[in-house]
């Protein structure tokens, strides 16, 4: 990759990091530690960067921005103007329709994920990996063991149709899933 392209990609990645952090500034993860939500976003982006060799800046930016439409006031047009149509389309592709009941959103993730793009599937694996890691290190306050087990099972159902695209990402998910399964089924 030429130097100018690397520099441009690095600038865009840092802009996406800054934008995501500012959009989620008041949000916290549901866990006992109530970590800043941006920790989840950077973990997802880091997983994607590490497991793809850093060769897909659009995917990494999508990891940073994947919850902006769903959880903040950001729109597709905002993302398209700031980060381009590829990033905006990827974020939309992994965005749940918050007007639907939670159970329906979860059902739709399992049903629609097999038909998503390669990038969207990789992002789903990284997102679920981060979420499972978070459940283990800082389970949400008030969640019963049954609810935790249900989440672990659901995450595996979503990721099932994404497998085979990236061995390193599959392995990261498998480790997180095994740890969560062992913890909540003991």
Active-site option among 35, 50, 56, 71 = 71
Q: According to the model, what pLDDT value does residue 6 have? A: 73
The mean per-residue pLDDT over the stretch 75-84 comes to 98
- 3-184: CATH, from 3.30.70.260, 1.10.3210.10, 1.10.287.3610, 1.10.3720.10: 1.10.3210.10
Q: What 3-state DSSP class applies to 28?
A: strand
Q: pLDDT per residue over 105-152, tens digit each?
A: 999 999 999 999 999 999 999 999 999 999 999 999 899 999 999 999
Domain ranges of the chain: 3-184
The mean per-residue pLDDT over the stretch 162-185 comes to 97
71 flagged as catalytic: yes
Active-site option among 35, 50, 56, 70 = 70
Give the integer Cα–Cα distance in Å for 33 and 21. Answer: 18
Q: Is the pTM of this model over 0.85?
A: yes
78 flagged as catalytic: no
Q: Kindly tell me if the per-residue pLDDT of 5 is higher than 80.
A: no
Q: Is 172 exposed, middle or buried (0-12, 13-18, 19+ CB in 10 A)?
A: buried
The mean per-residue pLDDT over the stretch 2-7 comes to 73
């Amino acid at each position: 990759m030429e130097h100018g392209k690397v520099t441009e990609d690095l600038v865009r990645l840092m802009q996406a990091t800054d934008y995501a952090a500012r959009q989620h500034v008041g949000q916290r993860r549901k866990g006992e530690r109530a970590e800043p939500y941006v920790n989840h976003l950077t973990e997802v982006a880091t997983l994607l960067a590490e497991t793809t060799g850093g060769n897909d800046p659009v995917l990494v930016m999508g990891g940073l921005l994947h919850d902006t439409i769903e959880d903040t006031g950001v729109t597709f047009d905002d993302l398209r103007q700031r980060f381009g149509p590829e990033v905006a389309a990827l974020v939309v592709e992994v965005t749940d329709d918050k007007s639907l009941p939670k159970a329906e959103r979860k059902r739709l993730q399992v049903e629609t994920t097999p038909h998503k793009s390669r990038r969207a599937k990789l992002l789903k694996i990284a997102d679920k990996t981060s979420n499972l890691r978070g459940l283990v290190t800082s389970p949400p306050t008030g969640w019963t063991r049954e609810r935790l087990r249900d989440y672990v099972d659901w995450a595996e159902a979503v990721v099932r149709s994404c497998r085979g695209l990236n061995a390193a990402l599959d392995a990261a998910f498998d480790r997180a899933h095994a740890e969560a399964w062992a913890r909540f089924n003991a």
